[in-house]
Amino acid sequence: MVDFIGIERVRDLVARKGIAAFIEELATELEADYRRWQDFDKSPRHAVHSPVGVIELMPISDGHLYSFKYVNGHPKNTAQGLLTVTAFGVLADVDTGYPLLLSELTLTTALRTAAMSVLAARHMARRDSRVMALIGNGAQSEFQSIAFHHLLGIREVRLYDVDPAATAKLERNLAALHLEGLRVIRCGSAGEAARGADIVTTVTADKCNAIILTPGMVEPGMHLNAVGGDCPGKTELHGDILGRPDARVVVEYEPQSRVEGEVQQMPAGFPVIEFADVVAGRAAGRADDREVTIFDSVGFALEDFAALRYVHRLHREDRASHATIDIVPVLENPKDLFALLGPRQARPRAASHLRVSA
Ligand SMILES: NC(=O)c1ccc[n+]([C@@H]2O[C@H](COP(=O)([O-])OP(=O)(O)OC[C@H]3O[C@@H](n4cnc5c(N)ncnc54)[C@H](O)[C@@H]3O)[C@@H](O)[C@H]2O)c1
């Protein structure tokens, strides 16, 4: 049997820890895996595009465990009552090739993206950052708000979305959380939200080269957490922001980000730093308080690998309510697959050779 984590189970795992502690632990897992960057067999994700969206497969392995995520991005979906982004994934044992876990990754992607954003900001934003503009107030936005408040000490979030109902929803959800010491301010434009902010998070969805931030909105010392531009032809920043002489651009995995990130707008030789180099201390995340740092996030398979391994560990720790799913046969004789179609056998034994790696 293969372990199974559905939406309800993730709700349960997050509730037990508390969302801030969950994101914090996830950020620790992400950082640990970025520190051992060289252990991973990496490749850019495989994307199938349509005029309205994209479906992507994101595989990665460290030689012991393998994972992949299936994820879509369809900005028009919300008009039909559907999510822009949904995902699920698998964690597998490299030695046997057997899947260990099948998990939802829609909620988990929002949690891991917030964890990754905060982790990058810890290395790149000014230490005295207290005010964040949050542009794009859809599905990911609560996770970003909570993570930056709890883990980075943000005291004021300034919200803007072209859809006022999305901002009202975010305001309502944040108010219900009673986040101590967090001021939530609704703004009338992206420019108003960004003015004077220490950090600007852009997490919008539109399948086009949108210009959410123009050069005039960016001030010295700002950290830009650009999350929403993550596909060819889908960006959020004006190219001149990247080209500022005082800008430092950090990406997750250069071969993928050159195609999918904000840097797709720039020539092939445009300098970028991989986040693994920042974590390992081979490159600085920020040189001084006046530099404009840009985390050009697209989402990399390593982050889902770390998230799958983390939720799997939590799932196994609580054996009482630990669900499995029968998607791999368990046979007395592995050469007799046909036996499965014969008369019903006694209930198969749980496979004892499946290992769980921490
Ligand atoms: N980098 C990553 O790791 C990562 C992870 C998850 C999602 N994403 C991306 O983040 C984006 C947001 O995802 P989501 O699930 O919150 O989507 P969503 O559709 O729920 O929310 C997006 C919001 O952006 C708003 N928006 C669109 N154009 C805008 C504009 N010009 N100005 C201001 N607001 C605008 C929409 O009204 C909507 O409320 C998507 O593009 C998704 O692909 C990236």
Tell me the average pLDDT across 248-267.
98
Query: Which is the catalytic residue, given 3, 33, 198, 230?
Result: 230
Residue 125 contacts residue 117 (beta carbons within 8 Å): no
pLDDT grade for 235, boundaries at 50, 70 and 90: very high
For residue 84, which atom of ligand 1 is closest to its CA?
19
Q: Please give the biggest Cα pair distance in the chain.
A: 73
pLDDT of residue 322: 84
pLDDT of residue 354: 39
CA contacts within 13 A on the Cβ side of 128 = 4
Tell me the average pLDDT across 141-152.
98
Pocket of ligand 1 from Cβ distances under 6 Å: 73, 75, 78, 84-85, 109, 113, 135-140, 160-163, 166, 190, 203-206, 210, 212, 227-228, 230, 297-299
Q: At 178, list the tokens.
A: 């009673």
pLDDT of residue 100: 98
Give the residue whose CA is nearest to atom 37 of ligand 1: 163
For the stretch 283-334, pLDDT in tens is 999 999 999 999 999 999 999 999 999 999 999 998 777 899 999 999 999 9
- State the pTM of this model: 0.95
pLDDT grade for 355, boundaries at 50, 70 and 90: very low
Residue among 259, 290, 258 nearest 274 (CA) = 258
Ligand 1 centroid, distance to 75 Cα (angstroms):
7
Q: Which of 45, 86, 140, 303 to probe ligand 1 with, by most ligand atoms within 8 A of CB?
A: 140
* Rounded (5°) CA angle 16-35-2: 45
Termini Cα distance of the chain: 19
Our measurement of the distance from residue 173's CA atom to the centroid of its chain's CA atoms, rounded to an integer in Å, reads: 20
Ligand 1 centroid, distance to 190 Cα (angstroms):
14
Q: CB-based burial of residue 301 (10 Å sphere; 0-12 exposed, 13-18 middle, 19+ buried)?
A: buried
pLDDT grade for 346, boundaries at 50, 70 and 90: low
Residue 230 designated active-site: yes
Q: Which of 203, 298, 303 to probe ligand 1 with, by most ligand atoms within 8 A of CB?
A: 203
